[in-house]
Amino acid sequence: MTALTFKNHSVSTYDRGDGGLWFTAQQSSKMLGYANVKSVTNLYNANSDEFSPSMTEVIVTVTSGKSKGCGNLRTKTRIFSLRGLHLLGMLAETEVAKALRRWALDLMENEYQPND
């Protein structure tokens, strides 16, 4: 998990094992200034044709529920690549969307610079 900072808030990325930066829908909602994760889900659903399979996917996370007397809890979570996050920023109409787009582009520029 890579720790980043956006607008003085710590941002944790999801490690998908491919070396890329991935953001959960919940984290994306917070960065875009939405109060509810459903806002990003609705934004994605309304524009899903603009996202390629490499920009988003649904993963299953497993949380141990043994302390509550249950088995493991499985939850489906949508994640977005850095390109997917940038597209969310293009589609969102929040006050911080412009700053998020710039931040995502800066990360892309740093992430994909060729080694000399």
- In this structure, of 57-61, 102-106, 109-113, the range with the lowest mean pLDDT score is 109-113
CB 108 within 8 A of CB 14: no
Mean of pLDDT over the chain: 89
Instruction: Compare 115 and 31 and report the one with higher pLDDT.
Output: 31
State how far the Cα of 41 lies from the Cα of 3, in Å rounded to an integer.
23
User: How much is the pLDDT for 110?
Assistant: 84
Model confidence pLDDT, tens digit, residues 3-60: 799 999 899 999 888 889 999 999 999 999 999 999 999 999 999 999 999 999 999 9
Instruction: Compare 67 and 101 and report the one with higher pLDDT.
Output: 101
Instruction: Compare 13 and 72 and report the one with higher pLDDT.
Output: 13
Burial label for 46, CB within 10 Å (0-12, 13-18, 19+), is exposed
Residue 82, H or E segment: helix 82-91
Backbone angles phi, psi at 51, to 5 degrees: -100, 130
94 pLDDT above the threshold of 90: yes
User: How much is the pLDDT for 62?
Assistant: 83
